[in-house]
Structure 1
């Protein structure tokens, strides 16, 4: 008897020593039946979290539903107003992933916006420089036109001065020519008259 008890205790303790921890899976299936009792056949098995269309409810705790194009009955206690926690968690993780993706897209858009702002600033600076250069070129063109006009005016004034100088020079030449010719003529006349005057004086002096 003692040996039998010892063997039983040894078996119990050895079984406890090798036991491992397990968890219930978060997955269950519930039968949708053709009628409102467990005696009716199962139309299909519905997994936890499956969305169904509620068509009506009976007083004996069954709900008339439609799922996947088929109608049947299921215990009302198997239905709830909100999705299963597992599905809500998956939805939350999906939304969180989408939020992270949106955040990445937002950062990319902000970076692109900053890049476009910098490019816009550079283009505005180039445009301002171009306008300034164009204004300077316009001013230089106007100044060049003014200088050309002044040069033409100076050329006309110089031509008038040359013309006046030539006129004055020609007039001076004419006067000097006339004066020189008159002096020569006077010398010739004086040379012709001087002997006659001397002869006449001699005659007057000889008469005394």
Structure 2
């Protein structure tokens, strides 16, 4: 009895309305008509191509399904629809995805090559900058050494100038002393000559007088 009730409930659920959120797909290769009622005749509302996604509203035991596409609601035979998209449509979708991915891969490959070229250029520029930095550092050290040598030479020049001035001063003093000595020597010789002359004059006056006295 319970088994019979369970089977009956399942049939009822399959027969009556299902959730409007359910989606089904047209599976036939031909365009399938949506009809205004559950019959074959002049009741076609519109035709739908294979792979069209529909909202399933309800299905019946005699093989009809009520569906909605955009604003159109109608009936279609259940064997024309499936819960999964047709393999042909999936293949088309996958082919489009593959082609898009292939195009994207080609684009990414090109961008990768451009980036690799830019990276090599940046590496070369970095190497050149390192070399230039080394040269600049060496030039800076050379300039600093020249500056230090210049300061040293300037200090030595100042020292030589001071020594030269000192030697000039000493030479001037020596010349002054020599001149003083010359003047002193000349003065001494003048005094000695004057004394000699004085004593000569005295002798010249005294000796003749003595000779004259002896004669008388």
Query: Structure 1 stretches of 5 or more lacking a match?
Result: 1-25
Query: Structure 2 stretches of 5 or more lacking a match?
Result: 1-27, 212-216
Pick one of 46, 62, 85 that aligns with 1:60.
Answer: 62
Q: TM-score w.r.t. structure 2 length?
A: 0.70
Please state how far the C-alpha of 1:198 moved relative to its aligned partner.
9.7
Structure 1 counterpart of 2:48: 46
Whether 1:156 aligns to 2:166 is no
Pick one of 74, 77, 98 that aligns with 1:75.
Answer: 77
* Secondary structure of the structure 2 residue equivalent to 1:109: helix
Structure 2 counterpart of 1:127: 129
Task: Give the stretch that moved more between structures: 138-147 or 52-61.
Answer: 138-147
How many pairs does the alignment contain?
180
- Mapped contact 2:64–2:76 kept (Cα < 8 A): yes
Higher relative contact order (CA 8 A, sep 6+): 2
RMSD (Å), alpha carbons: 2.9
Q: TM-score w.r.t. structure 1 length?
A: 0.72
- Mapped contact 2:51–2:89 kept (Cα < 8 A): yes
Whether 1:85 aligns to 2:87 is yes
Pick one of 35, 38, 63 that aligns with 1:36.
Answer: 38
Post-superposition CA distance 1:60-86 (Å, at most 9, x none):
111111124211111111111222233
